[in-house]
Structure 1
Amino acid sequence: MDPKVVMVVRILLGLFMITFGLIKFMGFIPFPPVEGDGGILMGIYVSSGLIKLIGELEAAEGLALLVVKFVPLALTFLIAILFNAGMFHILRDMGNIMGALIGLVLSFILVFA
């Protein structure tokens, strides 16, 4: 794959993950409402503080992608986080799946580049 395309995808994924990580960590944009079992699970994540940890990891891995340090390690963590986010949305909250799918597609492009 063209190195310029890989660089653009890496920067986009880095900015994407920093943005979503800071949203979870700092809470400056509220989460969209999640109905049913997904809402209960999201409530557990928020009340236990797990969502802030996930946000910190997302922001740190996005920063690692932007500064081109530990990119394979960052992608390893991001694939795991994004896969779990995708599965959550597929199983519990199909209406809000677009962010997880965009992140997964960008990360798979980088993995196979």
Structure 2
Amino acid sequence: MNSRFTYLMRLLLGVILLVFGLNKFLNFIPAPELPENAASFITSLATTGYVLQVVGVLEILIGLLLLTNKWVAFALVVLAPISVNILLFHLFLDIPGISGALLVAVINGILMYKLWPKYKPLFN
């Protein structure tokens, strides 16, 4: 996990998560125009009053853990279902916006692969 490549991937993923997590609270990046089904889905999540906030807090915490190089293996495990859901949202509801979701999912996968020895005991 100490190569320059994994270091850069960890920092890139950390920055992405921190920025998009903070954006859920500060709204400094305007929301893109979404297809009707995608907009309806996001509206229903926002209506709950907690889902998007919880995801935002998790993204911020995971981003900070990655940027500070603390509990990285744990952070990546917590991020896995979030990144899969982001990917599935774009795959089924907003295919034009899938590039960012693919980037997050691929980097998450690469970093988990690089840390595989830490996860191996989970499968014994």
**TM-score under structure 1 normalisation?**
0.92
In structure 2, the partner of 1:88 is 89
Q: Mapping of 1:66-85 within 5 angstroms?
A: 66-85=67-86
State the distance in 1 between where 2:64 and 2:112 align: 17
- Taking only the aligned residue pairs, the percentage that are identical comes to 35
Q: Does 1:20 align with 2:20?
A: yes
Conserved? CA contact 1:61–1:78, under 8 Å:
yes
Deviations 1:69-90 (A, max 9, x none): 1111100111110100000100
Root-mean-square deviation (CA), in Å?
A: 1.4
State the distance in 2 between where 1:54 and 1:40 align: 18
- Structure 1 residue runs of 5 or longer lacking an equivalent are none
Which residue identity lines up with residue 88 of structure 1 in the other structure?
A: F
Deviations 1:84-104 (A, max 9, x none): 000010001111111111111
Conserved? CA contact 1:25–1:56, under 8 Å:
no
Could you say which structure has the larger radius of gyration?
Answer: 2
**TM-score under structure 2 normalisation?**
0.84
Deviations 1:7-29 (A, max 9, x none): 11111111111011111122122
